[in-house]
Amino acid sequence: MGSAGPVEVEPMPGYWELITRGSSAMLGAWRDCSHCGLEFSKRTLLDNAYITWTEIALFFFCAFLWTIIRKRLTESLFKPLAQWCRLMPKDAAKMPESAWKLVFYTMSWSYSTYLLFFSSYSFFNDPPSVFYNWKSGMTVPTDIAIAYLIQGSFYGHSIYATVNMDTWRKDSAVMVVHHIITLALISFSYAFRYHNVGILVLFLHDINDVLLEFTKLNVYLKARGGGYHLLNDVLSNMGSVSFSVTWFWFRLYWFPLKVLYATCVSSIQSGPNIPFYFFFNALLFALLLMNIYWFLFIVIFVVKLLKVKEVNDVREYEDEDARKAAEELLKDAENNDDDAGHHNSAQRKHVQNGVTKDKHL
């Protein structure tokens, strides 16, 4: 299979160029794939997928490790911090989830930012370069392999966490599908050595998770102690505006015009026999559709913000579930306070009896 070396950086295309050239490239690839079929796909998978049992074992170990780390941090740090901040019960129930995600996504996005802007990789400024000198079974650089292990195992953990650990929301079912598609993209892109594309995709998506969780934490903190805290209110509004803008800019502008154009058009130009061309592009387009779906929530959120001037998560269910979750969160604290409460009650009763006797005297 031929490969293309580094060339002059192409200007970023527009939406119309993505549609026209992308559809033309895909139709051309479809016409040239006269021998495509189940048997050919199976042979391509066996010939081009490179992943070891050691890497698979590391994935499951790290996914389990993320779950343990989250549980430990929740019990030893996030829940005590929520109680110390005197958050409202419904906010205290959701705060550990947001704190955990903020810690992880800040770390992961910082690392992908380092790879794209502070190392030798030029994938962001020159997206077609993700396919330069691509070959089946090529060695994955250690720094990118580490990013893949971190991200892949985290999304493996997230599938479990969304169902069993996180607060269930209106879009949680879509979130599970998102995690499955993301994990499939990470796993297959690593196995087929499309890791350069993967780093760019992760960078363009993780920034929104950082801003989302930052905003949610400040929403919880602005009403701590039953009062009103201006700084957290200002930060939550700034975070919500930044989140809305970066969602469109990173996921609906840069993602299709940098990533999808590269995978649909540049990949064919660099290597006409690129394996699983349609499969990977289908997954990426599914990711784009989910980004558009969630953008509708953002539009609703902005409209609601303009009307009531208060930041809230429009994905939340406004029913008994939130209160039940909050009550469960506080059970431990209440149980720990039971003995002290009985003791104080007995002391108050003793004092009241003494006062009554004094009055009779």
Is it the case that residue 353 has pLDDT exceeding 70?
Answer: no
Is it the case that residue 214 has pLDDT exceeding 80?
Answer: yes
CA dihedral 31, 33, 38, 39 (to 10 degrees): 150
Higher model confidence: residue 275 or residue 327? 275
pLDDT digits (tens, 9 = 90+) for 195-210: 999 999 999 999 999 9
Contacts 24+ apart (CB under 8 A), 121-124: 121/196, 121/199, 123/196, 123/197, 123/199, 123/200, 124/200, 124/203, 124/258
Higher model confidence: residue 90 or residue 3? 90
pLDDT at 39: 64
Give the residue-averaged pLDDT of 327-348.
50
Burial of 99 (0-12, 13-18, 19+ CB in 10 A): buried
Count of Cβ atoms closer than 10 Å to residue 195 Cβ: 20
Give the residue-averaged pLDDT of 330-359.
48
pLDDT at 350: 46
Count of Cβ atoms closer than 10 Å to residue 133 Cβ: 12
pLDDT at 109: 96
8's tokens? 């002059």
pLDDT at 59: 95
Instruction: Indicate the average pLDDT of the chain.
Output: 83
Give the gyration radius of the chain's Cα atoms. Answer: 26
pLDDT at 313: 58
pLDDT range class, residue 158, cuts 50, 70, 90: very high
pLDDT digits (tens, 9 = 90+) for 170-192: 778 888 988 998 898 899 899 99
Is it the case that residue 6 has pLDDT exceeding 70?
Answer: no
DSSP letter for 227, please. S
Higher model confidence: residue 294 or residue 308? 294
pLDDT range class, residue 320, cuts 50, 70, 90: very low
**Which of 26-40, 130-144, 175-189, 266-280 is least confident?**
26-40
pLDDT digits (tens, 9 = 90+) for 114-144: 999 999 999 999 999 999 888 888 899 999 9
Considering Cα of 19, then 22, then 28, then 34, what sign does the dihedral take?
negative
Higher model confidence: residue 156 or residue 275? 156
Is it the case that residue 359 has pLDDT exceeding 50?
Answer: no
Give the residue-averaged pLDDT of 206-233.
92
Is it the case that residue 10 has pLDDT exceeding 80?
Answer: no
pLDDT at 106: 97
Is it the case that residue 319 has pLDDT exceeding 70?
Answer: no
pLDDT at 322: 44
280's tokens? 């990977």
As a whole number of angstroms, the distance between CA 60 and CA 77 comes to 25
pLDDT range class, residue 67, cuts 50, 70, 90: very high
pLDDT range class, residue 79, cuts 50, 70, 90: very high
The percent of residues in the chain predicted with pLDDT above 90, rounded, is 51
The percent of residues in the chain predicted with pLDDT above 70, rounded, is 79
Alpha carbons within 13 angstroms on the beta-carbon side of residue 290 total 19
Is it the case that residue 5 has pLDDT exceeding 70?
Answer: no
Give the residue-averaged pLDDT of 247-256.
96
Give the residue-averaged pLDDT of 4-29.
81
